[in-house]
Structure 1
Amino acid sequence: MSNQKLVIRLEPRSISACASLPDELSFIGNALQHQVDVFEQSKDADIILDLAPTGTGKTKAGLTVLKHQPNKSAVYIAPTNALIEQQTEAAKQFVRDANLPHVVKSASAKDIKSWPDEKVGRRSGEKLYNVLRNPTTVFDDVGANTPILLVTNPDIFYYATFFAYNNLDRGNIAAGFYTKFSTVIFDEFHLYDAKQLVGMLFYLAYSHVFRFFQDGRKVVLLTATPEPACELALQNFKQAGVKIARIDGEAGNTNLLPSQTAVNLELRPKPDSKEEWLAELTAEVVQRFRERPDENGAVILDSLDNINRLSTLLRQQGIGDDIGRITGPAPKKDRERAMQCQIILATSTVDVGFNFEKYPKPKRQNLDWLIFSARDRAAFWQRIGRVGRVLGKSETNIDSESIAYLPANAWEEGLTSLDTSEGRTALKDVLETLPCLDKPFLKAYWRSEAFLEIARPLLELEEMLEGLAEEKFILELFNTLKSIFEGNRTWDDYRYRMKLLRGAETIAKKTPKEIKKDWKYIKGGQAFVRTFIKAKFPEDWDDLQAGRTTLDEYVDLFKKDEDALAELKEFAEVFSTSYAPLFSFRSSLFESLSIRDPYGFILDESEETRLDPFHLLRYYEFVQNGDYIEVTSRAAEAYQLSFELRYTDNWQEFISTELNKLTAFKNCRIIRTLGGGTRPTDQIQSLNKHLLPGIIICPRTNAAVIFQLNKQGIISYPITIVCNDVEKEYRFFAGLSGILAIAMKFKQLRLPDDEVFIAG
């Protein structure tokens, strides 16, 4: 049988303890060698990559770099808000132990909003800038000239360095993030998606081109599983002269300490049937619970609904008191309770800095068994690294067990060639060859129209540096990024495109009266009006190109012709909304909803949380109850979600103007159906958007493409186009999915102004 289960024993892992601790790190005590190596290598290297396994103290390793520049500020980028809190406490303890002068402040969006506003005003951007400039202006407990260690997340870091704060603060904040920090630590960066990696790599390129590495800036990258695409990017930096040190905690063979038990691993293909898989998972968990009542275990799945349904099935088996859920919607109180349960059910939330701590602490591993699914290699190695951790434990020789569900394609692509007698190395080598475990988005994202994303900070920097000696670095920075991301156009192209977009964004926000008066003087305004004329009035564009008319004549036109003015504003709204997903850190089309869960379908103890509206619509029945949406029951079957677009012209006009085009659609609404019947969604007001960005394609001519993209996690939805003369069915790739879909599988797409973009 081609997809038979495979069983392999992964040998125990060890990590080197430090035999001779430098005086500067004597406060650490029982240091590991990789922690000392990070400290020593960072004396000379610009970028330090710590590849030690999960759960072996990489956070402390990164913080040792502060000792080289003890009076200068630093930033620590933790991947989630939950980890910000954890790493802030770890950093405070490290600073105390190391006798460093830094004040440590957590800086999630919620934290920044809660900072005192008596001295600097209430805007979050204003507070953040003043903390960067001088923390004493915000915090009374900070002395003058005290260096700060800011613990934040990739969202804040991205918005700061990509000039995404409001107009009043964004320049100051970006300048602070680019110049303030001598030590920059990116934690768990293997979990970064394409957009987050763009932000990180842009910062590295800026630090190189603008000579911050020459001035002593140190960047520490912490990961147990580096992404190959990111490895290639770092190789480009190395070739450009950036000094990069790689630290592997398992490279030494002396002073070894056990870090993970042997793991008896079974590899299984993930079943196509959800019900079949959940029944299989339930049986596996119940068997372990009843046959091994003294062992602790966990199930980690990618789907929130699968975890919630598994929880229901296990409760029906009578073990509800012994299980706890750790998921994105679960509040802190629920997570703390779940950690002490014998069986933990979790989503990818636990992939980030989560140690499954038990109290009182067991003498052996915290997790004896683990069942998990993995979409890619990084997730596989992160999750298998969670079971059997024994660093610092007194009992280290009790084997652990694990079942890993991989995509069924893995068996077709050669997983069966695995020599199950050769352990971890053989498994790693085989998994590296399986295309189904690749992260599909990175290169496609970088080489698509998404490359325009980096043009925003580049243009802002160019304008800030206009007339200064550093202005020459902008082209060098662009070319560095172009070599990393394999872009295929010039800086002049992207600069012009970004000016167009900026003009569109500004015009879209103005009233008709303001547009009449200001459009010629808006940054990018004249360029955008030219694009408007070219896209909407080809004959007028020919006259403008030939010099038979001038742009000045449109001043009077927009003053007198209200219809032309309204059409300009609408075109600006469509143009800017089409690109908005590129500059938004969150991939969801809609904000999460405040929900109440009184019956425990989603939460174990708490009743209130926030939930993705698509998840709510697909899997639950609900009612509006004041400011909250109350979940009343689980849907008998999962709803089918689709869209309906009312197009106020004929079908042929739709095909010629809207199909295969990145744009934004008005008169578009979400439909949810079950068994042919439609359920209303109007009660969720936040779903009623004026414009929805994305791409609509033909499902028949692109059936194979849609199937492939769906297997790679790029979701499309059925959409009914209701024209004046006919109704037709198509597929809708919403938001950023549209750009990714075209970049990965289509040769061409039209942009909002009908220009053609050649992806890759």
Structure 2
Amino acid sequence: MDSITIKLNPHYELLAELSEVPDKIQQVIEYPLDHQIKTYQSQKSFDLVLNTFPTGTGKTKAALLHLLDNPQANTLLIAPTNELIRQHKRDVEEFVKIATLPHIVCEVNAKLLHNIDPENRLYRQGERFYRLMTNPMEFAEQLGIPEKQRSSRCPIILITNPDLFYYSLYSCYHNLDKRNVFEAIFADFEYIIIDEFHYYNAKQLANFLFFIALSLELGYFQNVNRKMCLLSATPDAEVYNYLERLASQGLRWKAIKPEFVDSSYSRAVKTLTPVKLTFAACMDLDEYLKKSAFEVKSKVRNSLDGALISNCLIDINRAVSHLKAAGLTANEDFGRITGAVSRQEREISAKKPLILATPTVDIGYNFVKQAKTRQNLDFVFFTARYADEFWQRLGRVGRVLGKVEQDLESEAVALVSSEVLEKICTYGNDFLMSISRDKLKRIFDESSAFIQKPFLCEYISSYAILESFRPLYELRKQMRHPERIEEAFEQVRLLFAPGSKKRYQHYVYSLCRFNSLQKASVKDIYGDCLIREFLNTASFWTTGNENNPEVEKSFPDFKKKLQAKNIKCLEIIQNYVSEEYYALSSLFSFRDSFKSLTCAVYDPSKIFTDHEDIAYYDLFHLLKYYDLHWYSSYQDFMSVYCESEKIQAADLYCRVNRHKSKKDNLVVSFSLESTFEPEFFTRRYCDKPIAIKGFKLLVSRIDGSPFPLSPQLTEAIKDNYITCLLFPEQGAAEGEIREHTKDMQISYPSVSVTFPDSKQRNYKALLGINAYLVGARIQKYLYALEKKTEFWSSNPGFQADTARTCF
């Protein structure tokens, strides 16, 4: 069986008992839902509230109700995408206006921080952010603050992304700003809302958990009455485990969870229409539309609104060609909401009857259709690998809360794997009659229909502690009683890794080492501990033996050569320092440290976009899936496309001619030339996170035959340090990695290494933050990070050499 169709009953939520709802709430929500009132009431008694109601049921408004009782509370609202931030700004401004709250509402991202100071008077980004947080009136005109609010000091609702929050909390700004920015982001906001909490990976989630733990330890919940509200329709089970650990440390928290509401209940209100749901064994939207494009056209021509959602941008772009072949047009019928199109084009696309979208729309995006009395989306076709993807995307169709027409059936097609379909079909007798969403969820749970979305808690129990120690390390310098920081660290350790044997001093040494590497990479200043570490590590690379007694004898002579600016000695230690420093720097970045190059793409055939000529996207994606013409320079590009004012800075420039057929897709890999012998190379670079410089791009056809690239492309990333975890194509590490990542959507590009004897060996690589996320799962195969701290913790010169710069 290639598909199965079932009927889902309408879905209901519970209205609040209006006789018990305060007038000030009814002023902003005429008919509030029960979960909104429970959220509001729970915040009176609990430090943190987690609302897990479905998307589209008013979780954000539920969180904002707290401000009705706290009209002077500075509020921080964090959302994961700039698109959602813009949406929140509109909604929050409307809420503030209706509730007559005094707040200034500010949307802040990196681009805005640059634009508010176009003359670059405040040349440091951290200084701009600090001054905006503490005195937004300084930028009143740039922020669009109304005149009537400029005459008095008003509380602020700051809506920003998690990147700026991370850089502020984790002391990533300039030395002159990081203390001020930390204090502003940590101490100046009484109320914090974190939206789409399920969106973040383990590394990113650790950032928020650390903030909660530090707030608890430093008394912000008890003494300052700080409140937090987490919003997530599909939280991972591990989130509850971490919150329970915080509860054992004193956090008062409560989850507001959905419960089944029978349609016969007097306060039941319909939120979702009945849905005709088809599960089809096809994980590829492109393939499905080859047969179904005319069906989609018929729906659009019959004045139905819909969405097509896929995880893959190429899937969306190929789907467009099928829709065009069926007779639909971008001018009248469809638009794209993807990472490759501009904000302006997204706004145009949102108004079209049919929207094609990547997971951008999974994150709280509202499909708003003006003047529709029925559901905004009548149908949705989507791919789903994990259960949370399925529920997020199914929840887009048939929303009728507050709508006049509520009984028109919606349609959904879930494109799933054949394994998922097979498991669902075993419950065929349950589908003879329509069923509720709750029953369908139980069927998923009982059958394990969808694979579990991986949550890498191993990262939190290992590298996240070092990452979170950085702000503690900085905070220790500022406090009169630094022992408080040691106590705070212990609470973080118990939260992240209660079984860990590593204690406070281990992380002091680790941060001292990182700071020493940073200083050496910038100023070529090498302390004794760093020199000893290098000599001992180099000895291990050469001999395979640790703790070589001859190393200490060579220390004085090597140090003298460094002081004398010996070119060879400086070169080898500089290379070592850079590889270690850039590898660790990947830990202290909210987003993935590995970034491909950005290309400006001239798109006359509208392969990426529907209304614009220029798109910007990732080099590797372009190489794999599109037929391209490359320009040698910006000037060469502009000789063809003359509207220079529309062009943003890019690394490379090209024209896209068409997308490739699947059989013509290309495979991206890398080559590397090593001056070391294979055994030395393996000890230095394999089975651990490390940064390597010198990667060249290779591209091949699916059959393995090489595809020629220009030197410009081959050497495009040659001068960049790339954090990676390298392992031989054959060996224990490869088997362990593949076994532990089979539930993850992760790739292992090949790396062909040429050695001095001209022989080649093939390796696989995990790139960027995956080197740490996956590395944490396979610790026993990695060269342990703590090895590097031995030379700091046991060295008698540590205090004299580094303590002054550490603290």
In structure 2, what is the equivalent of residue 523 of structure 1? none
- Deviation of 1:46 after TM superposition, in Å, equals 0.6
Rounded to whole Å, the distance in 1 between the matches of 2:737 and 2:128 is 47
In structure 1, what is the equivalent of residue 78 of structure 2? 77
Q: Report if aligned partners of 1:49, 1:222 keep a CA contact under 8 Å in 2.
A: yes
Amino acid at match of 2:271: S
Rounded to whole Å, the distance in 2 between the matches of 1:203 and 1:363 is 43
Rounded to whole Å, the distance in 2 between the matches of 1:449 and 1:756 is 14
- Deviation of 1:638 after TM superposition, in Å, equals 1.5
1:183 matched to 2:207: no
Amino acid at match of 2:665: A
Q: 1:411 to 1:498 in 2, by over 3 A?
A: farther
Q: Which structure 2 residues correspond to residues 669-684 of structure 1 after superposition, within 5 A? A: 669-674=696-701, 676-680=705-709, 682-683=711-712
1:569 matched to 2:577: no
Q: TM-score normalized by structure 2?
A: 0.85
In structure 1, what is the equivalent of residue 202 of structure 2? 194
Q: SS in structure 2 opposite 1:27? A: helix
Q: Report if aligned partners of 1:505, 1:576 keep a CA contact under 8 Å in 2.
A: yes
Rounded to whole Å, the distance in 2 between the matches of 1:670 and 1:118 is 39
Q: 1:133 to 1:681 in 2, by over 3 A?
A: farther
Amino acid at match of 1:743: A
- Deviation of 1:206 after TM superposition, in Å, equals 1.2
In structure 2, what is the equivalent of residue 536 of structure 1? 538
- Deviation of 1:251 after TM superposition, in Å, equals 6.0
Q: SS in structure 1 opposite 2:44? A: coil
Q: Aligned-pair RMSD on alpha carbons? A: 3.0
Q: Report if aligned partners of 1:446, 1:487 keep a CA contact under 8 Å in 2.
A: no
In structure 1, what is the equivalent of residue 643 of structure 2? none
In structure 1, what is the equivalent of residue 241 of structure 2? 232
In structure 2, what is the equivalent of residue 392 of structure 1? 402
Which residue of the other structure, out of 354, 360, 363, is the alignment partner of 2:365?
A: 354
Deviation by residue 1:171-221 (Cα, 9 ceiling, x = unmatched): 211111110100000111111222221111111111111111112101011
Deviation by residue 1:483-539 (Cα, 9 ceiling, x = unmatched): 47x6563333233222212211221122x4xx2xxx44xxxxx54333223212469
- Deviation of 1:92 after TM superposition, in Å, equals 1.7
Deviation by residue 1:19-66 (Cα, 9 ceiling, x = unmatched): 132133242133333222222211111111122221122221111112
Q: SS in structure 2 opposite 1:720? A: strand
Amino acid at match of 1:471: I
- Deviation of 1:541 after TM superposition, in Å, equals 9.2
Q: Report if aligned partners of 2:49, 2:230 keep a CA contact under 8 Å in 1.
A: yes
Q: Which structure 2 residues correspond to residues 424-503 of structure 1 after superposition, within 5 A? A: 424-432=437-445, 434=448, 436-465=450-479, 467-468=481-482, 470-483=484-497, 487=500, 489-503=502-516
Q: 1:622 to 1:465 in 2, by over 3 A?
A: farther
- Deviation of 1:468 after TM superposition, in Å, equals 4.7
Rounded to whole Å, the distance in 1 between the matches of 2:743 and 2:483 is 50
Higher mean C-alpha deviation, range 628-637 or range 719-728? 628-637
Q: 1:110 to 1:717 in 2, by over 3 A?
A: same
Rounded to whole Å, the distance in 2 between the matches of 1:390 and 1:452 is 47
Q: Which structure 2 residues correspond to residues 497-512 of structure 1 after superposition, within 5 A? A: 497-510=510-523, 512=524
Higher mean C-alpha deviation, range 612-621 or range 552-561? 552-561
Higher mean C-alpha deviation, range 139-148 or range 558-567? 139-148
1:559 matched to 2:563: yes
In structure 1, what is the equivalent of residue 27 of structure 2? 27
Rounded to whole Å, the distance in 2 between the matches of 1:600 and 1:350 is 21
- Deviation of 1:106 after TM superposition, in Å, equals 0.7
Which residue of the other structure, out of 141, 164, 169, is the alignment partner of 1:156?
A: 164
Rounded to whole Å, the distance in 2 between the matches of 1:388 and 1:436 is 23
In structure 1, what is the equivalent of residue 793 of structure 2? none
Deviation by residue 1:619-662 (Cα, 9 ceiling, x = unmatched): 22132215662323135321110000111133333234333232
1:646 matched to 2:673: yes
Rounded to whole Å, the distance in 2 between the matches of 1:444 and 1:472 is 23
In structure 2, what is the equivalent of residue 97 of structure 1? 98
In structure 1, what is the equivalent of residue 11 of structure 2? 13
Amino acid at match of 1:78: A
Rounded to whole Å, the distance in 2 between the matches of 1:574 and 1:751 is 16
Q: Report if aligned partners of 1:323, 1:344 keep a CA contact under 8 Å in 2.
A: yes
Q: Report if aligned partners of 2:510, 2:789 keep a CA contact under 8 Å in 1.
A: no
Amino acid at match of 1:577: Y
Rounded to whole Å, the distance in 2 between the matches of 1:585 and 1:407 is 32
Q: Report if aligned partners of 1:300, 1:348 keep a CA contact under 8 Å in 2.
A: yes
- Deviation of 1:411 after TM superposition, in Å, equals 5.3
Rounded to whole Å, the distance in 2 between the matches of 1:312 and 1:599 is 11
1:600 matched to 2:606: yes
Q: 1:216 to 1:545 in 2, by over 3 A?
A: farther
Amino acid at match of 2:279: L
Rounded to whole Å, the distance in 2 between the matches of 1:375 and 1:451 is 31
Q: Report if aligned partners of 2:375, 2:403 keep a CA contact under 8 Å in 1.
A: yes
Which residue of the other structure, out of 662, 686, 693, is the alignment partner of 2:723?
A: 693
In structure 2, what is the equivalent of residue 750 of structure 1? 783
Rounded to whole Å, the distance in 2 between the matches of 1:468 and 1:444 is 29
Q: SS in structure 1 opposite 2:140? A: coil
Q: 1:649 to 1:14 in 2, by over 3 A?
A: same
Q: SS in structure 2 opposite 1:623? A: strand
Which residue of the other structure, out of 365, 368, 377, is the alignment partner of 1:367?
A: 377
Q: Which structure 2 residues correspond to residues 317-356 of structure 1 after superposition, within 5 A? A: 317-321=326-330, 322-356=333-367
Q: Report if aligned partners of 2:461, 2:497 keep a CA contact under 8 Å in 1.
A: no
Q: Report if aligned partners of 1:227, 1:378 keep a CA contact under 8 Å in 2.
A: no
Higher mean C-alpha deviation, range 576-585 or range 177-186? 576-585
In structure 2, what is the equivalent of residue 622 of structure 1? 629
Q: 1:699 to 1:469 in 2, by over 3 A?
A: closer
Rounded to whole Å, the distance in 2 between the matches of 1:169 and 1:270 is 52
- Deviation of 1:599 after TM superposition, in Å, equals 1.9
Q: 1:100 to 1:635 in 2, by over 3 A?
A: closer
Q: SS in structure 2 opposite 1:100? A: coil
Q: Report if aligned partners of 2:672, 2:695 keep a CA contact under 8 Å in 1.
A: yes
In structure 1, what is the equivalent of residue 798 of structure 2? none
Q: 1:156 to 1:672 in 2, by over 3 A?
A: same
- Deviation of 1:602 after TM superposition, in Å, equals 0.6
- Deviation of 1:309 after TM superposition, in Å, equals 0.6
Rounded to whole Å, the distance in 2 between the matches of 1:436 and 1:450 is 28
Amino acid at match of 1:692: I
Q: 1:479 to 1:690 in 2, by over 3 A?
A: closer
In structure 1, what is the equivalent of residue 89 of structure 2? 88
Q: Report if aligned partners of 1:102, 1:146 keep a CA contact under 8 Å in 2.
A: yes
Q: SS in structure 2 opposite 1:747? A: helix
- Count of matched residue pairs: 737
Q: SS in structure 2 opposite 1:529? A: helix
Q: Report if aligned partners of 1:120, 1:138 keep a CA contact under 8 Å in 2.
A: no
Which residue of the other structure, out of 278, 289, 298, is the alignment partner of 1:281?
A: 289
Identical positions, percent: 29
Q: 1:696 to 1:472 in 2, by over 3 A?
A: closer
Rounded to whole Å, the distance in 1 between the matches of 2:694 and 2:119 is 45
Q: Report if aligned partners of 1:47, 1:220 keep a CA contact under 8 Å in 2.
A: yes
Q: 1:189 to 1:345 in 2, by over 3 A?
A: same
- Deviation of 1:332 after TM superposition, in Å, equals 2.2
Amino acid at match of 2:717: L
Rounded to whole Å, the distance in 2 between the matches of 1:545 and 1:377 is 58
- Deviation of 1:552 after TM superposition, in Å, equals 7.9
In structure 1, what is the equivalent of residue 644 of structure 2? none
- Deviation of 1:469 after TM superposition, in Å, equals 6.4
Q: TM-score normalized by structure 1?
A: 0.90
1:246 matched to 2:223: no
- Deviation of 1:384 after TM superposition, in Å, equals 0.7
What are the ranges of 5 or more consecutive residues in structure 2 without an aligned counterpart? 632-636, 639-648, 791-807
